[in-house]
């Protein structure tokens, strides 16, 4: 049983229209030309489908080796047009392939925020008949599985909320929280997956809407009904079979313990430094079946969270 975490699948694909773009070209401390891109992409019919992305690439690394990605990203940077600057008709359609990364920072209220961001790797042309798309393949250690509850009475919705610990290209651990198992897949998920196992989940980014506020009693005449807000959820559509930690493809609990300890040290360092200024949100730092079964006997502690995915 290894105390190392193997390379894991962490792939996000967003296909749609570039709505905002900010490009910086310059030279880094190694005197290599570099490019930094931050932008937003709308991958569905509504503005609720809009998500941020970012990327950075240098032409040469510290050892002088040329990057294979620099010219491709430079080409994209020189040609991209956003809705904000060129309008809807002229804006660039693109398919972005990237990965989840951490976006941890101290807010202006001195509160630690643990969020996600999308680190873009490839910018591909969108085919004429290709539809908008927001999907992710996330492989990792299943840290928690809990029934979703809503309201003051903590009524179960029939869905599950799952946290997967995956890694990025550099081996940093990425906790991906609030992955939703819909009610129609709950029974199969509970039979085939449990905390401590390793699995790859297939996820769609789907817009949902919270309930509107009820009309207040009393008042005068016809009152306005406040509609609920739209937000994006990560919804499980399928999964590969799970592996136990003693399997060759599994991740050991000890490996996760070590990785989480290292992450906690980084978060503690962020908290010790406190709010660093700037705007909030800026980073500081089912498949084929087999015999693997179920959730065990313990009932997970319910979780109640609502709203947008944290990126």
- The pLDDT score that the predictor gives to residue 131 is 83
| Spatial contact of 36 and 24, defined as CB atoms under 8 Å apart | yes
By CB atoms closer than 10 A (0-12, 13-18, 19+), residue 106 is buried
Phi-psi region for residue 246, left (φ > 0), alpha (ψ -120 to 50) or beta?
alpha
Q: List, in sequence order, every residue forming a beta bridge with 57; answer none if it has no partner.
A: 35
**Spatial contact of 73 and 55, defined as CB atoms under 8 Å apart:** yes
Task: Give dist(CA 6, CA 27) in Å, integer.
Answer: 34
Burial of 166 (C-beta count, 10 Å sphere; 0-12/13-18/19+): buried
Number of residues that this document lists for the chain = 311
pLDDT band for position 302 (50/70/90)?
very low
Task: Grade residue 112 by pLDDT with cuts at 50, 70 and 90.
Answer: very high
Dmax over Cα atoms in the chain, in whole Å?
Answer: 73
- What lies within 8 Å, CB to CB, of 175 at 6+ separation is 102, 114, 143, 163, 164, 165, 263
From first CA to last CA, the distance across the chain in angstroms is 34
50-63 confidence digits (pLDDT tens): 999 999 999 999 89
For residue 72, how far is the Cα from the chain centroid? 24
Please give the average per-residue pLDDT across 147-174, as a whole number.
94
DSSP-derived secondary structure letter, 277? S
Task: Give the confidence band of 290 by pLDDT, cuts at 50, 70, 90.
Answer: very low
DSSP character at residue 227:
P
Say whether pLDDT at 205 is over 80. yes
pLDDT at position 295? 34
The rounded distance, in Å, linking the Cα atoms of 178 and 164 is 9
- Which whole number is the average pLDDT over 229-247? 93
Handedness of CA 260, 242, 206, 95 (dihedral sign): positive
Query: What are 34's strand-pairing partners?
Result: 26, 58
Please report the pLDDT score of residue 298 as a whole number.
Answer: 37
Q: From CA 159, how far away is CA 80, in angstroms rounded? A: 40
Listing DSSP states for 72-123 in one string gives: HHHHHHHH---HHHH-TTTSPEEEEEEEEEEEEEE-TTS-EEEEEEEEEEEE
**pLDDT > 80? residue 25:** yes
pLDDT in tens, 169-191: 999 999 999 999 999 999 999 99
Q: Degrees (nearest 5) of the Cα angle 92, 117, 36?
A: 55
Q: Which helix (H) or strand (E) holds 149?
A: strand 133-150
Domains defined along the chain, listed by start? 10-273 (2.40.50.140)
pTM check: above 0.85: no
In terms of Cα–Cα distance, which of 297, 264, 250 is closest to 141? 250
| Token pair for 171 | 């081996």
């Amino acid at each position: 049983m290894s105390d190392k975490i193997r390379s894991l699948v962490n792939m996000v694909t967003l296909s749609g229209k570039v709505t905002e773009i900010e490009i910086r070209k310059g030279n880094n401390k190694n005197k290599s030309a570099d490019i930094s891109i931050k932008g937003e992409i709308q991958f569905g019919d509504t503005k609720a489908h809009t998500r941020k992305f970012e990327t950075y690439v240098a032409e040469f690394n510290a050892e002088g080796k040329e990057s294979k990605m620099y010219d491709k990203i430079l080409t994209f940077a020189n040609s991209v047009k956003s809705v904000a600057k060129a309008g809807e008709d002229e804006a660039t359609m693109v398919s972005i392939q990237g990965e989840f990364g951490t976006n941890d920072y101290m807010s202006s209220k001195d509160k630690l925020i643990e969020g996600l961001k999308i680190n873009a790797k490839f910018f591909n042309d969108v085919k004429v008949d290709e539809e908008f798309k927001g999907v992710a393949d996330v492989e990792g250690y299943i840290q928690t599985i809990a029934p979703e509850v809503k309201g003051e009475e903590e009524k179960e919705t029939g869905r599950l909320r799952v946290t997967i610990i995956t890694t990025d290209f550099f081996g940093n651990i990425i906790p991906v929280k609030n992955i939703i198992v819909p009610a129609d897949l709950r029974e199969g998920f509970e039979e085939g997956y449990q905390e401590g196992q390793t699995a790859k989940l297939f996820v769609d980014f789907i817009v949902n809407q919270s309930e509107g506020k009820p009309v207040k009693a009393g008042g005068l005449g016809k009152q306005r009904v406040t509609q609920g807000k739209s937000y994006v959820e990560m919804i499980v559509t399928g999964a590969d079979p799970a592996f136990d930690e003693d399997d060759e493809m599994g991740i050991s609990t000890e490996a996760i313990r070590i990785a989480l300890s290292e992450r906690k040290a980084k978060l503690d360092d962020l908290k010790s430094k406190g709010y660093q200024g700037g705007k909030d949100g800026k980073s500081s730092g089912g498949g084929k079946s087999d015999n693997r079964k179920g959730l065990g006997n313990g009932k997970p502690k319910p979780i109640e969270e609502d709203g947008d995915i944290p990126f």
